[in-house]
């Protein structure tokens, strides 16, 4: 009987003893070395709302990333107001001297990226583009990226037109209608 009593007492003590607290998880935080930045390189971005002809609304985004500003690659993007990407194109900034100074710094690149999102089309309508005469290799003052019928259809439909610098002397022009965007080509200066 003594054994049963001692056993019950031992069980009672065990039941009344609080369970050991769980060990707190250990965490470590790396402290960056003073004077180092979290991200190295040259980065800039800009966003602009575009109210196109025909009560169409779009978002124009531009960004540039590179190990250095002269090595940066710039991207221009046209999106619907719902966020659908309709057009995107990448350019090394050194190839777009009409928009970017190749030896610029971070602050200058931010200003240039913001300017790049501005539509340089004169009217905002594809109707401003020169007629592509039948049988001609291309329209005057324009280097096409599409077939003549696509180009002339955009002109005839008076599609919304977004143009931006894409070289040293040219402006790329994108026709946009609804959720369709087409790079028509580049306006170029006339040369004899």
173 - beta bridge partners? 163, 185
Distances (CA, A) of 161 to 22, 56, 85: 65, 11, 16
Helix (H, G, I), strand (E, B) or coil at 147: coil
- In the chain, domain spans: 42-187
Residues 78 and 87: their CA atoms lie apart, in Å, by 5
Residue showing tokens 């190839």: 95
60 - beta bridge partners? 48, 78
* pLDDT for the residue numbered 16: 47
pLDDT tens by residue, 10-68: 444 444 455 544 444 333 334 444 443 445 689 999 999 999 987 899 999 999 999 99
Residues 44 and 72: their CA atoms lie apart, in Å, by 10
Query: Which DSSP string do the residues of 9-61 spell out, in sequence order?
Result: HHHHHHHHSPPPPPPPPP---PPPPTT--SS-SEEEEEEEEEEETTTEEEEEE
Helix spans in 52-189 (H): 106-116, 148-156
Relative to beta strand 56-66, strand 73-80 is antiparallel
Q: For the CA atoms of 15, 17, 18, 24, what is the dihedral angle to 10 degrees? A: -120
* pLDDT for the residue numbered 191: 56
* Of 96-110, 128-142, 154-168, minimum mean pLDDT range: 96-110
Cβ atoms of residues 128 and 161 within 8 Å: yes
* pLDDT for the residue numbered 103: 80
Mean pLDDT calculated for residue range 102-126: 92
pTM for the whole thing? 0.76
* pLDDT for the residue numbered 43: 94
Tell me how many degrees the CA angle 125-136-129 measures, rounded to the nearest 5.
10
* pLDDT for the residue numbered 157: 93
């Amino acid at each position: 009987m003594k054994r049963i009593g001692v056993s019950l007492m031992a069980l009672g003590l065990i039941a009344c003893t609080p369970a050991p607290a769980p060990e707190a998880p250990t965490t470590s935080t790396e402290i960056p070395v003073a004077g180092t930045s979290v991200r190295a390189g040259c980065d800039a971005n800009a966003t602009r709302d575009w109210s196109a002809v025909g009560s169409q609304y779009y978002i124009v985004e531009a960004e540039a990333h590179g190990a250095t500003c002269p090595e940066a690659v710039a991207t221009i993007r046209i999106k619907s107001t719902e966020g659908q990407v309709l057009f995107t194109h990448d350019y090394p900034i050194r190839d777009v001297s009409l928009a970017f100074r190749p030896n610029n710094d971070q602050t200058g690149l931010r200003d240039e990226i913001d300017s790049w999102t501005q539509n340089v089309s004169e009217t905002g309508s594809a109707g401003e583009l020169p007629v592509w005469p039948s049988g001609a290799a291309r329209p005057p003052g324009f280097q096409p990226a599409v077939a003549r019928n696509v180009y002339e259809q955009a002109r005839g439909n008076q599609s919304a037109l977004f143009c931006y610098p894409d070289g040293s002397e040219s402006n790329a022009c994108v026709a946009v209608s609804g959720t369709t965007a087409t790079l028509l080509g580049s306006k170029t200066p006339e040369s004899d």
